[in-house]
Amino acid sequence: VHVRDPSKESETERACFEYLDLTSRSFAAVIKELNPELLMPICLFYLALRGLDTIEDDMTLPNEKKIPLLRNFDSNMEIDGWKFTENGPNEKDRELLVNFDKVIVELKRMKPEYYAIVRDITTKMGNGMADYALNAEHNANGVNSIADYELYCHYVAGLVGDGLTRLFVESKLANPALLERPHLTESMGQFLQKTNIIRDVHEDFLDKRRFWPKEIWSKHVDNWDDLFDQTNPVFKQKALECSSEMVLNALKHADECLFYMAGIRDQSVFNFVAIPQSMAIATLELVFRNPAIFNSHIKISKGDACQLMSESTQNLRVVCDVFRRYLRRIHKKNDPRDPLYTAISLQCSKIEQFIESIFPSQ
Ligand code: PS7
Ligand code: MN
Ligand code: MN
Ligand code: MN
Ligand code: MN
Ligand code: MN
């Protein structure tokens, strides 16, 4: 197993790992365990996108400032000495942007083949985020159609999957056939981002942001705010049914995520892609029919996270067992009074059958 030796690293390399630790909860650990060939490129890819997301998430920045920052981020990250010091004081990732000049030094030392991928995805994500920041301002109501919702998830996560897959294949750590299956890659990002959007609904509501598409929530309530009125038993019921529809929509991607992971050749890359996916299926189970998502920030327990980490660093069979376990729990929690009871039940069976077809249980 590869171990970093900070004494052999440059000052800017050490700084990058410091910002990685500062800005990520779960990604820092898995990135630091990556195959040495991809360790620094993926650390820098992460920091570039984390920089963009810090700007996107900063609700103290007016759109007149935010939009050009998002659209120009790819060119700014090529300017020696560029950094961003205007961030709101309570922005937790401020440190990264204030010291972004150090990240730029390391971006310039990357292999050109890898840098081209990072730059391409940064350009596309920055422009996609800018389109949505603009949209949210003009509609005060966020995302409307399911297609818009999936396009947003494409910009902030599907594209990350695309860039990562190109890095894995370029470094020969994944089967090049994955490049011919962009739909599988897209599902990897969509599954993570949709789970994040379902779980963070209350946090985003407090920030006056809405990512749940109107096409879904308007079937359950007339006003978005009603979902958060947990004192009214009718709204409480409707909110749960609405969240069921969001969970069902996310579950559409689960089988393709498992299929994608079969194309990974390197153990460290497998761990890197599998851990977030296992955390996502466990999070979906936690949020499913859980009214707490509408008034608090919920997370899977430390103990469950530890178990998921050890199970996701073995092989695809064990990860399939993890998916099976959580799908069964979702199946059990499903309530016959839920209008989507049958659809959810069928979707769980469909994924379980897919798993059964690749890894028969005895
Ligand atoms: C480059 C490792 C592995 C094929 C910073 C990993 C926001 C869920 O929505 O801040 O602001 O609340 O909680 C990670 C596919 C992306 C998608 C994305 C980059 C998996 C900036 C992760 C992570 C593709 C855009 C959580 C998508 O952030 O979200 C690297 C394969 C960053 C992956 C955003 C979201 C990540 C996310 P939000 P968070
Ligand atoms: Mn964001
Ligand atoms: Mn964010
Ligand atoms: Mn988040
Ligand atoms: Mn979020
Ligand atoms: Mn959060």
**ipTM at complex level:** 0.93
- 45, 132, 152, 323: the catalytic one is 152
Active site (annotated) includes residue 181: no
CA pair distance 324, 320, nearest whole angstrom = 6
Within 8 A by CB and 6+ apart from 5, the residues are none
Angstrom distance (rounded) from CA 351 to CA 349: 5
**What is the spatial distance between Cα 235 and Cα 239, in angstroms, rounded to a whole number?**
6
> Exposure pattern of 290-312 as b/e (b: 16+ CB <10 Å)?
beebbeeeeebeeebbeebbebb
Alpha-carbon 267 to chain mean position: 21
- Which amino acid would we find at residue 279? M
Atom of ligand 1 nearest to the CA of 45: 1
Determine phi and psi for 179, rounding to 5 degrees: -65, -25
What is the pLDDT at residue 90? 63
Cβ–Cβ under 8 Å, residues 136 and 212:
no
> Is residue 114 lining ligand 1, measured as CB closer than 6 Å?
no
**Ligand 1 nearest atom to the CA of residue 31, by list position:** 2
Q: Is the CB of 184 under 6 A from ligand 1?
A: no
Distance 193 CA to ligand 1 centre (A): 7
Q: Is 243 in the pocket of ligand 1 (CB under 6 A)?
A: no
Asked whether the beta carbons of 133 and 63 are under 8 A apart, the reply is: yes
Cα 191–chain centre separation: 8
Q: Please measure the distance between the N-terminal and C-terminal CA atoms of the chain and give it in whole angstroms.
A: 32
Is residue 212 within 8 Å of residue 195, measured between CB atoms?
no
pLDDT at residue 292 in the model: 98
Task: Give the mean pLDDT of 226-238.
Answer: 97
Dihedral angle of Cα 32, 34, 36, 37, to the nearest 10 degrees: -130
The answer, yes or no, to whether any atom of ligand 1 lies below 6 A from the CB of 161, is: yes
Q: What is the pLDDT of residue 140?
A: 60
Is 117 within 8 Å of 72 (Cβ atoms)?
A: no
Which DSSP letter does residue 87 get? Answer: -
H or E element at residue 9: none
Tokens of 292: 């707490």
174 lines ligand 1 (CB under 6 A): no
53 lines ligand 1 (CB under 6 A): yes
DSSP type of residue 222? S
Q: Does the annotation count 209 as an active-site position? A: yes
In the chain, the percentage of residues whose pLDDT exceeds 70 is 96
pTM (whole model) above 0.90:
yes
User: Count H helices, E strands: the chain?
Assistant: 18, 0
Candidate list 50, 119, 166, 199, residue with the active-site label: 199
Measured between alpha carbons, how far is 66 from 48 in angstroms, rounded to an integer?
A: 16
**Residue 7 confidence (pLDDT) above 90:** no
Residue 37 CA to residue 174 CA, distance in Å, equals: 13
94 flagged as catalytic: no
Q: Which two tokens stand for residue 52?
A: 């963009």
Residue of 161, 210, 167, 154 lying closest to 181 (CA atoms): 161
pLDDT digits (tens, 9 = 90+) for 140-182: 668 999 999 999 999 999 999 999 999 999 999 999 999 999 9
Q: Which of 149, 168, 196 to mutate to test ligand 1, by most ligand atoms within 8 A of the CB atom? A: 196
**Integer Cα distance of 68 and 4 in angstroms:** 37
Structure tokens at 137: 């301002």
Q: Which of 38-42, 48-52, 92-96, 206-210 has the lowest mean pLDDT?
A: 92-96
Q: pLDDT tens digits, residue range 106-145?
A: 999 999 999 999 999 999 999 999 999 977 766 566 899 9
For CA atoms 143, 149, 151, 157, the dihedral sign is positive
Strand partners, 174: 264
Asked whether the beta carbons of 271 and 265 are under 8 A apart, the reply is no
Query: Rounded to whole angstroms, how far apart are CA atoms 30 and 271?
Result: 7
The whole-number pLDDT of residue 322 equals: 98
Locate the DSSP E strands across the chain. Answer: none
Closest ligand (CA of 184): 1
Cα-to-centroid distance, 79 and ligand 2 (Å): 24
For residue range 263-308, list pLDDT tens digits in order.
Answer: 999 999 999 999 999 999 999 999 999 999 999 999 999 999 999 9
pLDDT > 90 in the chain, percent: 89
